[in-house]
């Protein structure tokens, strides 16, 4: 059981710091790349000067995007989309850790747990939309190369994650079903504290009650018979 959120992703660059303390998380739903028009088009490059101008334009987009992230006060970015290699390199240069290809549901969980807001555009980035956590860390488990991102000490103290690992899929699925059943039992007890015991206990309790009632009926019938005999 982990006090926080676990994301099945690692940091986007191997040279990024693996632990970010006092994390201010930018939850981003926009890719680090130049905007693409909705219509189909072709760009013809006929000489080196045109290519250099296009490269500088794209480079400026990346610089502006990373600058907006840095100016917001964020020290780590959680992005639903991928990073271009150029953008990833600029993030590393600006000492801004990042995790890419985070699923939409995971992004919502991060926002709820850290108190942040999902930002759909770079123009909407601001410091009041950042999520907060005590530490964000890239962790390796076991002897494998599996790496996860763990967000601990979230603003919402109710954020907990149960991590299940096993030798094969069948064992993991069986453990998940058992945990789900247990959580449902606890939920039902919280909603209604009355308990019906298992293992045949209800049947035995009903049998005892029926036997006691049967004895009373027998004694009542016996007293009626004796009353009629002595009349």
Lowest-pLDDT choice from 33-47, 151-165, 190-204: 33-47
Q: Provide mean pLDDT across the span 52-59.
A: 80
Q: How far apart are CA 149 and CA 138, in angstroms?
A: 4
Q: Provide mean pLDDT across the span 168-197.
A: 90
pTM: 0.70
Strand spans (E) along 108-219: 118-119, 131-140, 147-154
CA 49 to chain centre: 47
Q: Provide mean pLDDT across the span 177-200.
A: 88
Q: How far apart are CA 138 and CA 2, in angstroms?
A: 14
Q: Which domains does the chain have, with CATH numbers?
A: 4-161 (3.50.7.10)
């Amino acid at each position: 059981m982990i006090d926080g959120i676990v994301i099945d992703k690692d940091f986007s660059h191997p040279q990024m710091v693996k632990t970010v303390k006092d994390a201010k998380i930018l939850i981003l739903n926009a890719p680090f790349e130049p905007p693409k028009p909705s219509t189909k088009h072709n760009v013809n490059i006929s000489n080196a000067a045109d290519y250099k101008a296009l490269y500088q334009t794209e480079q400026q987009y990346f610089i502006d995007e990373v600058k907006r992230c840095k100016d917001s006060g964020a020290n780590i970015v959680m992005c639903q989309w991928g990073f271009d290699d150029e953008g990833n390199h600029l993030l590393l240069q600006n000492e801004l850790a990042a995790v890419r290809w985070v699923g939409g549901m995971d992004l919502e969980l991060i926002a709820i747990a850290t108190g942040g807001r999902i930002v759909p555009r770079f123009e909407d980035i601001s410091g009041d939309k950042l999520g907060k956590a005590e530490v964000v860390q890239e962790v390796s488990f076991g002897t494998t190369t599996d790496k996860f991102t763990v967000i601990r000490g979230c603003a919402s103290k109710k954020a907990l994650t149960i991590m299940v690992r096993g030798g094969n899929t069948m064992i993991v699925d069986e453990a998940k079903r058992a945990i789900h059943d247990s959580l449902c039992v606890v939920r039902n007890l919280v909603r209604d504290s009355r308990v019906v015991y298992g293992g045949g206990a209800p049947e035995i309790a009903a049998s005892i009650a029926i036997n006691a009632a049967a004895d009373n009926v027998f004694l009542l019938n016996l007293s009626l018979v004796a009353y009629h005999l002595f009349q």
